[in-house]
Amino acid sequence: MKLGRRAVKNVAVLIHADAGQESRLQAALDLVRGLHGHLIAIDVTAMPPIAEDPVIGPTTLASYISEELAVQDDNRARIKARLLIEDAPWTLAECMGDVASCLASHTALTDLVVINTVFDGFPGGDMDGVVASMLRLNRPVLAVPSATRGIVLQGTALVAWDGSDESDAALRAAIPILALAREVRILSIDRGSIKHPPELAASYLSRHGIRPEIMVVPAETGRIGQQILAQALRIEPALIVMGGFGHSRLIETLFGGVTRDLLHNSPYPVFLAQ
């Protein structure tokens, strides 16, 4: 590894018996193997919104908690049995509460957190809020669609670049993953002005031994996120890397812009950092 390159070694993944668990776990294991890292499985027994609803009686809440505990106990046992035969080092932490709080309390010394782009059928799941919480704490996130099975680290990586400080941060954080890619493409949607041009990003990557291709596409009428997705569908990347595309602060505008478009609609894993 070259001197000065940031390492991604500690990869945290959310463990919970829901529709997206397999996609999260496969992607996290692929990352740990490819990066020669360590898997931190965070087993969350989720408390639902009804826990904070005064209209819901204690009997209903107790019934839910009892069922959730039973399901999670069984799921935890199956995950442990599986990890014992996987060729990757791992540890498992257990937490009861909402997802964002549990991940926050167990990811202080991690390099990347793997969750889903959406939480299908997750009790009390709020993907946008969890992503915002992780990024606010400076935890890079890999959000994977529930339909994916793993991540091809030797595939094509697409960097959605707008020259913002958030794009800079995402590019720096993703270096160890981009270094494994067979091909890296920097996509810049040209809207007439940009703080840091894509050529600067390409020069930065070249000093890490990565030779990217630059793609400059004129901006069209409509949402930038849809234009990025259109390019991604044409390229079919293994993952998309992005920061706060088109915004001065990602957290403040997460729910109304490009980031939301990609998280809600991308069929490819999305790497995010602030």
Contacts of the segment 245-252: beta carbons below 8 A, 24+ positions apart: 245/160, 245/161, 245/162, 245/164, 245/166, 245/167, 246/162, 246/164, 247/164, 247/166, 248/164, 249/166, 250/135, 250/166, 250/274, 251/132, 251/135, 251/136
Cα separation, 50 vs 61, in Å, equals 7
Q: pLDDT higher for 4 or 222?
A: 222
112-116/90-97 β-pairing: unpaired
Domains defined along the chain, listed by start? 10-144 (3.40.50.620), 156-272 (3.40.50.620)
Over 50: is that where the pLDDT of 252 sits?
no
The listed range with the strongest mean pLDDT (57-61, 75-79, 129-133) is: 75-79
141-144/270-272 β-pairing: antiparallel
Burial of 200 (0-12, 13-18, 19+ CB in 10 A): middle
Residue 195, pLDDT score = 78
Q: pLDDT higher for 101 or 68?
A: 101
The per-residue pLDDT for range 165-181, each reduced to its tens digit, is 889 999 999 999 999 99
Mean pLDDT, to the nearest integer, of 61-81? Answer: 88
Residue 46, pLDDT score = 82
183-190/213-218 β-pairing: parallel
Cα separation, 181 vs 161, in Å, equals 17
| β-bridge partners, 95 | 44
Over 70: is that where the pLDDT of 3 sits?
no
Mean pLDDT, to the nearest integer, of 186-202? Answer: 88
Reported as a pLDDT band with limits 50, 70 and 90, residue 251 is very low
